[in-house]
Amino acid sequence: MTAPSTWERVDQAAADIRRRSAALPDTAIVLGSGLGDFSDTLRDAIAAPYTELPHWPASNVVGHAGRLVIGNVAGRRVAALSGRVHFYEGYDLATVVFATRVMGRLGVRHLILTNAAGGINTALTQGALMIIDDHINLMGTSPLIGSNDDRFGPRFPDMSEVYSARLRNIADEAARTRGVAVSHGVYIAVQGPSYETPAEINFFRKMGADAIGMSTVPEAIAARHMGVEVLGISCITNAAAAVGHQPIVHDDVIATGRRVRSSFISLLEGIIERL
């Protein structure tokens, strides 16, 4: 028997979600390391572990709960993806962006990508929230490599505005109203899983990067390929090598995410109610 195509696997997962939730989301949020508590705030929610969803890859990183929650926020139906899978776990990028593809197939119009990131710009202190204005892809590959399925999007999608200016303005307005401090910057994605060397961080700063991480960019590319509007938010959970003076450990990343829980949730709620 021929293995199902990517489109068929995405379609099967989307059909399963439709059976679980009578009301479908128009907004989806991917919650990064230590930021998953937002999913617990959704009202009238249904939840499913990723392991119960057809073809869905398992999330195995500490700080990623690995479940899909669909519920209401500010009168809108929202899908919260509590955890993601990463390229460094050994998944190919088609698998890394599987959840993004499913959200697009469900008809999601807005995708908010959040992550825990290292601060390259010294003005970004631990716990800062950074709206992503643009990205630099240093992962060495793209989720669009290979044959293109026109049902997902065009062969050569435009990337001149990956992160929607409209959504960034909404995020700024929500931050002002809610009293949440935010900054803006460029996110650079690398493969990981080792943290970067001081020489690498100095190089990335010269390239114009403000924050660094190991996710988000493939999802943003896949979402734009499908015509989904994207907003990115980084929580600066640690100073990158050559910026701070302490070793970088994942436990500190998780702890910082939890420390900014209230302001992070407030910002997301403010954004959603303005969409």
Question: What tens digit of pLDDT does each residue of 153-164 get?
Answer: 999 999 999 999
- What is the maximum span of the chain, computed from C-alpha positions, in angstroms? 57
Determine which one of 65, 128, 171, 214 is catalytic: 214
Determine which one of 79, 80, 116, 117 is catalytic: 116
Structural domain contains residue 1:
no
Determine which one of 33, 82, 115, 234 is catalytic: 33
Structural domain contains residue 133:
yes
Stated pTM of the model: 0.93
CATH code for the domain in which residue 154 is found: 3.40.50.1580
How many Cα atoms occupy the beta-carbon half-sphere of 250 within 13 Å?
13
Structural domain contains residue 244:
yes
Buried b (16+ CB within 10 A) or exposed e, 116-126: bbbbbbeebeb
- pLDDT at residue 161 in the model: 98
Structural domain contains residue 214:
yes
Domain count, the chain: 1
- Quick check: 109 and 166 in contact, CB under 8 A? no
142 catalytic, yes or no? no
48 catalytic, yes or no? no
Domain span including residue 155: 6-272
Determine which one of 13, 14, 86, 175 is catalytic: 86
Helix axes 250-259, 261-272, angle to 10 degrees: 60
Contacts of 257 (CB under 8 A, 6+ apart): 32, 33, 34, 35, 63, 116, 235, 237, 264
DSSP SS3 for 13: helix
- Judge whether residue 30 has pLDDT over 70: yes
- pLDDT at residue 78 in the model: 97
33 catalytic, yes or no? yes
